[in-house]
Amino acid sequence: MTSHAPVHVGYLENSSKIGGGNRSMETLLRGLEGSRFHPHFVCPEEGPMVKLIQSLHVDVKVIAPYQPSWRSPLRSYHAWQRWKQFLRSDQIALIHANGLQGGRSIVMAAHSTGIPLICHIRFPSSEESYAWFFQRLPKPFGFIFISEAIQREVGGFLEQACPSARQWIVYNGVDIHTFSPSSSDNVTPRIGIIANLQPIKGHEDFLDMAANLTEQGHHAQYDIIGADIQQQGRLSILRQYAQGLGLSDRVHFHGQVDNVAELVKQLDVVVCASHIEPFGRCLIEGMACAKPIVATRVGGIPEVVENRKTGFLVEPHAPGELAEAVLQLLGDPTLRKNMGTEGRARVERLFSLEAHTASIIKVYQETLGLA
């Protein structure tokens, strides 16, 4: 492979719905435009993610990620052959799986064709699951972790399961041109949470925070941006919860939106109430738009938000602390502005799309032995 020859990379998505990890992969594809790395995308089924990637003019295939099993040798063989056909027909030189499920599905084909496999680790699982993923199977070349926190939590398990695999930490990136500062000029303050409607994202805590502020006589609009992608009935649950708190006229459920940046720009404060959060994509999106952050002190969040400089960190499951921090920001426009400015500068230094893409390309070059 010459130093300027195109490198075809196969990207395996873990879901055809759009969550934070999926949006991070879409952001990476934007960053790779014009580079020597040419994407070939695979989704497990038809869905919004397929349409999103197609809008980038990237080839997308739908291939169900059958998991190899020694109990079903014939099905495993057919799945192996299907993956081999994809790798050969698209001249894939490197595989980048957005999660371990996809990586496990293709690892046999990757090994038999001599193509290195990298798996992105975005969310923790159990020690037992890491031991199982590649048991009696070839191993990936390496793992990319989205924060130091998640590497500390699960990196050791993966090292035990795959001793020779390399490990890298690459923070997520955000397009700082799309997510850019904009004054909100709201007469009624707007406070938002940007997260899919999973219980671990702490939406009930966010609504309890809103009720706390309302009871103290503070009027605000509360924007909930995100969908129930796991179809757990969460939208109905949260609507009823908001109604029970007397907040129906103050809370706006936006669902899945295409214009996340435009909504973030309209907010005065961005809140992340997560109970578990390996990184927090919403944080860098809010900071890129120069919004102050109120977030829980869990997982990788302290690596993103500098407490009392770009926002406030509070304990999880503590809506009262969320309310106190938000109230401090609402009462001090200068503090809001200063924290927003510091947040924007921090994103430009550490979490820009350019920084993220450069780090990923470095991983690819190391994996492929390229200069």
Q: Tens of pLDDT along 127-179?
A: 999 999 999 999 999 999 999 999 999 999 999 999 999 999 999 999 999 99
58-104, pLDDT tens digit by residue? 999 999 888 888 888 888 899 999 999 999 999 999 999 999 999 99
Q: Where are the domains of the chain?
A: 7-173+352-368, 190-351
What is the Cβ-side half-sphere exposure of residue 283, based on CA atoms within 13 angstroms? 34
What angle separates helix 281-288 from helix 20-32, to the nearest 10 degrees?
A: 60
Which structure tokens are listed for 150? 């998640």
Assigned fold of 7-173+352-368:
Rossmann fold (3.40.50)
Distance of alpha carbon 206 from alpha carbon 197, whole angstroms: 12
187-235, pLDDT tens digit by residue? 999 999 999 999 999 999 999 999 999 999 999 999 999 999 888 999 9
Cβ atoms < 10 Å from Cβ of 135: 9
Instruction: Identify the bridge partners of residue 260 per DSSP, sorted by sequence position.
Output: none
Of 22, 15, 76, nearest in space to 45 by CA: 15
12-71, pLDDT tens digit by residue? 998 998 888 999 999 999 999 999 999 999 999 999 999 999 999 999 999 988 888 888
What's the whole-number average pLDDT of the chain? Answer: 95
Give 215: exposed, middle or buried? Use CB within 10 Å, 0-12, 13-18, 19+: exposed
Q: How many residues does the chain have?
A: 371
Assigned fold of 190-351:
Rossmann fold (3.40.50)
Identical fold for domains 7-173+352-368 and 190-351, yes or no, is yes
Of 97, 72, 75, nearest in space to 11 by CA: 97
pLDDT at 1 over 60: no
Which structure tokens are listed for 129? 């699951």
